[in-house]
Amino acid sequence: MSSLPASAMFKVHRRQPELLTPAKPTPHEFKPLSDIDDQESLRFHIPLLQVYRHHPSMQMKDPVKIIREALAKALVFYYPFAGRLREGHNRKLLVECTAEGILFIEADADVTLEQSGDALEPPFPCLEELLFDVPGSSEILNCPLLLVQVTRFKCGGFALALRVNHTVSDAPGFVQFMSGVAEMARGKQAPSVLPVWERHVLNARSPPRVTCIHREYDEVEDNKSTCSARIPFPLHDIVDKSFFIELSSLSTLRRFAPPHLQECSNFQILTACLWKCRTIALQPNPKQEMRMICLNNARRKFNPSILPEGYYGNGFVLSTTVATAEEITQNPIGFALKLVRKAATGMSREYLQSVADLMVIKGRPQMHEEGSYVVSDVRHAGFGEVDFGWGKAVYGGPVRAIPIIASFLVPFENKKGEKGIVIPICLPSQAMERFAKELNNLLEGIQLIHGHMSRSSHIISSL
């Protein structure tokens, strides 16, 4: 494991933001989101970053011009992205397809990619340079659904930074959109996978009825508060840091899996370890309930599939497991692993439907955040595969953790050529120090059981 340090910042010269509209006329209509899309927990913008090196075959090509034109062409097919969100009865969200466009920014950096150093590695201290927050653009309703900034570097490489309204797409859905843009940048006239709206497939039943237990939506006093309003730490003390775990190191973590859980996935064992390290780091009341929340995607979960090919909305639900802080910290990793495995594999059609029904019955509630931790696995979403003509991305995917609440697992290759997983973490500064220490102990094969250090004797195969 290694944390990724920040280097000196660099400056970016930006032109005035512009509204980029579809290249051809598109329908003016209202498109309701699904009852999974429009829950309170997804009403935020999420930043993404794609970094590309210079490619000899693109020597005379301008990435700004190519991507701007490709986006305009792609918006003819994905025209809801050029619209604006409205809110109807019972807080129901819908897109008014107005063709007003997305925000686009052209920019130039004063350095090469190599000179940027660690500033172009997670947690990206340069993000504000690469993704300008256009004043008045970051509200959920009545604002552009997508903000794009393309920044050229002196070496011929470039960064494509995006900010997308999460209610409209999840990671696989947005990668589908970006892949369509990339295909058109490479000369195609239409995306190979045509977009499908059909958000009704994830709507509540009539009448709605909650038939499963959904601890992730346990009621709180004010379920419309923002995440930051309920963080029990001073915001000035919150720090971003990223941890790189080599693929070879996963075998060390797997040693903590007891014999009856040897079939666990890399996601499950890594998530169990993160949950334990984070709980120890935060030092909560021993009796406080801690929630581990997994994202279960329905795209390939069922046969036949619930979602049609080309669906680009949110196709996942949250699955939660709960234990006290004392249980997590005082038991071996196998305790947390068993709970994580159950949450990660427990989604059924009825569970999915029950979530949509709960959204309607309870007015699209906020996820319960106190004591909660979300781990989102985007290793297989395909961000890094998106090719605008310059080859695969050096980095592709989310750039930062959501403060206190959520982390991402992102595929990453460091400068030594070592492949692994980068994990952005956001915690109070002292908790971050404790987290790093605990995670390092686990990667050295040491775990804390009932207050004592112990080395695991369970060894199973790695990847």
Q: In a structure prediction context, what are the per-residue pLDDT tens digits for the chain, which is 463 residues long?
A: 554 444 457 899 999 999 999 999 999 999 999 999 999 999 999 999 999 999 999 999 999 999 999 999 999 999 999 999 999 998 999 999 999 999 999 999 999 999 988 888 888 989 999 999 999 999 999 999 999 999 999 999 999 999 999 999 999 999 999 999 999 999 999 999 999 999 999 999 999 999 999 999 987 544 443 333 344 555 568 899 999 999 989 999 999 999 999 899 999 999 999 999 999 999 999 999 999 999 999 988 888 889 999 999 999 999 999 999 999 999 999 999 999 999 998 889 999 999 999 999 999 999 998 899 999 999 999 999 999 999 999 999 999 898 879 999 999 998 888 999 999 999 999 999 999 999 999 999 876 554 444 554 332 222 2
Contact 403, 383 (CB under 8 A): no
- Long-range CB pairs of 412-418, under 8 A, 24+ apart, other chains included: 412/122, 412/244, 414/2, 414/121, 414/244, 418/246
Which residue's entry shows tokens 């595969």?
A: 385
Tell me if residue 236 is catalytic.
no
Question: What pLDDT, on a 0 to 100 scale, did the predictor assign at position 414?
Answer: 86
C-alpha span between 110 and 87 (Å, rounded): 42
**Starting at the edge strand that comes first in sequence, how are the strands of the sheet with 84-87 ordered?**
30-32, 93-96, 84-87
Tell me if residue 55 is catalytic.
no
Which residue's entry shows tokens 């370890």?
A: 273
**CATH-assigned architecture of domain 238-379+401-444:** 2-Layer Sandwich (3.30)
pTM of the full structure: 0.91
Alpha helices (H) along 200-332:
250-254, 266-282, 325-330
Indicate the helix (H) or strand (E) that contains 311: none
AA identity, residue 78: Y
Give the distance, in angstroms, between the CA of residue 91 and the centroid of all CA atoms in the same chain. 24
By C-alpha distance, which of 28, 34, 29 is closest to 198?
Answer: 34
Contact 182, 191 (CB under 8 A): no
AA identity, residue 207: P
Give the distance, in angstroms, between the CA of residue 214 and the centroid of all CA atoms in the same chain. 21
Which residues lie closer than 8 Å to 343 by C-beta, 6 or more apart?
292, 293, 294, 319, 320, 321
Give the distance, in angstroms, between the CA of residue 9 and the centroid of all CA atoms in the same chain. 25
Indicate the helix (H) or strand (E) that contains 93: strand 93-96
Ranges for all domains in the chain classified under CATH 3.30.559.10: 15-202, 238-379+401-444
State whether residue 360 is helix, strand or coil. helix
Q: Which residues pair with 104 in a beta bridge?
A: 18, 148
> 35, 37, 166, 240: which is the annotated catalytic residue?
166
Contact 170, 315 (CB under 8 A): yes
- The CATH code belonging to domain 15-202 is 3.30.559.10
C-alpha span between 325 and 281 (Å, rounded): 11
Which residue's entry shows tokens 């129901």?
A: 92
